[in-house]
């Protein structure tokens, strides 16, 4: 299947799409194969090897516990936050893992083999699962790579996966892998960027399914914010980072309330436009604090960058011109068009560069999300295809070179605040593009390729290894 909007916006658990969602998905695939191949009953031992970045920052990113859940057969998009806590507590208490939900094995986090200095040729986020019988004979073994945004690739199938991707793209009504191709479709058909994406999505889903699916994605984003605002205290992991979103919310509701009798917006809330920046900051912080807690989030397009698109979409729904009197139907239209346009830009990053912090640094995560959000906002504020492309380009241009250096390997500092800053950049990028006519000096394709090349040149210290930058220059506690 070609990368689509529902691949870029998938529902999972925090704190990391590449280090939590991808490994859990790979482990669940492996568990499913054990069940399907009939070898499960003969399994007497299990070995998990983690390589490169997964081994280096796995503890802070919840990689090991996510793998345990995947090996039990849980999938990131289906598992409930309560199930996560319940199963992990049981495994820790009993020291027993229910492999594929059926075979009890003594296994836990401490049994995993960590190889932080070994990087497999395909990708730095490598993991190998091996099961053996009572005589030590290997029954089944598989190596997977978590390549960013929760996507996984099995070793030996990289070319086949690429070929399959290419073939499925040719079948799409309006295939594109570059912004130039996307804009050409817009020129030829007269469609906007979100509409080109919608036409391609209709290849695999009905229009009703697409709309309902995207509105569901947004409802999960809203639910994530609502859950986060009810929590208190410090984030898990030992850094003692205090949750700020709940207090900010209380303060903001008081300070930004309009006088009684003033008009409500379409969502039934009062919002003084003077406070738009504070609301955007609040949503970004709330999502990323929930992500850091291992809660339910929408990868957008990764977990570390999950707060940017909800924050900018919040701006679009509450502060963009004309939204004050918008009907629910109009608001839903905004959500759908925003996510489709953002998804179209996300496809460009997946196709030409990477959205993985372990591959290209934070520019691939936060930079891509900022660029996607800028495109979404420009689209719903009436931008032409050229202006939408310009908005995406501006947002990425000013995120180039952004390194990944999370303190303690936790997706907290600088990640949480960085989402708020990148959301502000996205809004500014959209506004700048909308004040222009779409013509500009650097194309989106050029900036995407520059991001990829900058990522290649970046030292591995700054690519989700927690071996450079803030991660080594700040005392953890």
What is the binding site for ligand SF4 (CB under 6 A)? 304-305, 357, 362, 365-366, 404, 406, 411, 414-415, 418, 464
For the bound state, the minimum distance from the C-beta of residue 227 to ligand SF4, rounded and expressed in Å, comes to 20
For residues 317 and 410, which CB has a smaller minimum distance to ligand SF4 in the complex? 410
For the bound state, the minimum distance from the C-beta of residue 418 to ligand SF4, rounded and expressed in Å, comes to 6
For residues 343 and 469, which CB has a smaller minimum distance to ligand SF4 in the complex? 469
For the bound state, the minimum distance from the C-beta of residue 409 to ligand SF4, rounded and expressed in Å, comes to 8
Name the residue with the smallest CB distance to ligand SF4: 304
Handedness of CA 403, 407, 408, 410 (dihedral sign): negative
For the bound state, the minimum distance from the C-beta of residue 61 to ligand SF4, rounded and expressed in Å, comes to 8
For residues 185 and 463, which CB has a smaller minimum distance to ligand SF4 in the complex? 463
For residues 24 and 334, which CB has a smaller minimum distance to ligand SF4 in the complex? 24
454-460 own/partner pairs: CB under 8 Å, 24+ apart = 454/360, 454/361, 454/363, 454/400, 454/401, 455/353, 455/354, 455/359, 455/360, 455/361, 455/363, 455/364, 456/360, 458/360, 458/361, 458/401, 458/403, 460/119, 460/124
For residues 221 and 407, which CB has a smaller minimum distance to ligand SF4 in the complex? 407
Burial 176-195 (b: 16+ CB within 10 A, else e): bbbbebbbebbeeeebbbbb
For residues 14 and 385, which CB has a smaller minimum distance to ligand SF4 in the complex? 14
For the bound state, the minimum distance from the C-beta of residue 136 to ligand SF4, rounded and expressed in Å, comes to 38
Please name which of 392, 383, 385 lies closest in space to residue 353, comparing C-alpha atoms. Answer: 392
For the bound state, the minimum distance from the C-beta of residue 471 to ligand SF4, rounded and expressed in Å, comes to 9
For the bound state, the minimum distance from the C-beta of residue 176 to ligand SF4, rounded and expressed in Å, comes to 26
For residues 143 and 368, which CB has a smaller minimum distance to ligand SF4 in the complex? 368
For residues 40 and 471, which CB has a smaller minimum distance to ligand SF4 in the complex? 471
For the bound state, the minimum distance from the C-beta of residue 103 to ligand SF4, rounded and expressed in Å, comes to 34
For the bound state, the minimum distance from the C-beta of residue 424 to ligand SF4, rounded and expressed in Å, comes to 16
Residue whose structure tokens are 């998009």 = 77
For residues 70 and 304, which CB has a smaller minimum distance to ligand SF4 in the complex? 304
For residues 26 and 306, which CB has a smaller minimum distance to ligand SF4 in the complex? 306
For the bound state, the minimum distance from the C-beta of residue 88 to ligand SF4, rounded and expressed in Å, comes to 22
For residues 305 and 344, which CB has a smaller minimum distance to ligand SF4 in the complex? 305
For the bound state, the minimum distance from the C-beta of residue 454 to ligand SF4, rounded and expressed in Å, comes to 14
Q: Exposed, middle or buried, 430 (CB in 10 Å: 0-12/13-18/19+)?
A: buried
């Amino acid at each position: 299947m070609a990368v689509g909007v529902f691949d870029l916006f998938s529902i999972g658990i925090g704190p990391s799409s590449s280090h939590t969602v991808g490994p859990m998905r790979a482990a669940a695939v492996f568990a499913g194969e054990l069940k399907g191949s009939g070898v499960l009953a003969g399994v007497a031992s299990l070995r998990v090897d983690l390589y490169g970045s997964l081994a280096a920052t796995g503890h802070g990113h919840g990689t090991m516990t996510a793998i345990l859940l995947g090996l039990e057969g849980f999938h990131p998009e289906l598992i409930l936050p309560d199930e996560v806590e319940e199963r992990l507590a049981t495994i820790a208490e009993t020291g027993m893992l229910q492999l594929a939900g059926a075979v009890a094995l003594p296994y836990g986090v401490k049994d995993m083999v960590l190889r932080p200095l070994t990087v497999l040729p395909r990708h730095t986020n490598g993991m190998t699962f091996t099961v053996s019988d009572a005589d030590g004979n290997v029954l089944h073994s598989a190596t997977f790579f978590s390549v960013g945004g929760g996507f996984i690739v099995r070793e030996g199938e990289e070319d086949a996966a690429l070929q399959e991707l290419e073939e499925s793209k040719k079948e799409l009504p309006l295939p594109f892998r570059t912004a130039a191709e996307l804009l050409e479709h817009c020129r030829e058909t007269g469609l906007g960027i979100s509409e080109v994406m919608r036409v391609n999505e209709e290849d695999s889903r009905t229009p009703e399914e697409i709309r309902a699916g995207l509105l569901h994605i947004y409802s999960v984003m809203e639910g994530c914010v609502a859950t986060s605002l009810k929590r208190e205290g410090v984030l898990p992991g030992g850094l003692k980072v205090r949750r700020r979103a709940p207090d900010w919310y209380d303060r903001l509701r008081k300070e930004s309330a309009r006088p009684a009798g003033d008009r409500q917006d379409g969502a039934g809330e009062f919002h003084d436009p003077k406070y738009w920046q504070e609301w955007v900051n609040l949503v970004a912080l709330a999502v990323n604090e929930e992500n850091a807690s291992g809660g339910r989030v929408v990868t957008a397009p990764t977990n570390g960058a999950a707060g940017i698109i909800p924050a900018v979409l919040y701006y679009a729904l509450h502060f963009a011109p004309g939204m004050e009197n918008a009907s629910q139907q109009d608001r839903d239209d905004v959500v759908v068009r925003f996510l489709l346009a953002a998804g179209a830009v996300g496809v460009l990053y997946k196709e030409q560069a990477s959205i993985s912090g372990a591959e290209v640094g934070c520019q691939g995560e936060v930079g891509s999300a900022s660029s996607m959000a800028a495109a979404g906002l420009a689209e719903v504020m009436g931008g032409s295809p050229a202006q939408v492309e310009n908005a995406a380009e501006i947002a990425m241009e000013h995120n180039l070179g952004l390194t990944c250096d999370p303190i303690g390997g936790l997706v907290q500092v600088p990640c949480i605040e960085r989402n708020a800053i990148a959301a502000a950049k996205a809004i500014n990028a959209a506004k700048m593009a909308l004040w222009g006519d779409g013509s500009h000096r650097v194309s989106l394709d050029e900036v995407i390729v520059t991001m990829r090349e900058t990522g290649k040149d970046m030292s591995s210290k700054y690519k989700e290894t927690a071996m450079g930058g803030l991660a080594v220059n700040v005392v953890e506690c």
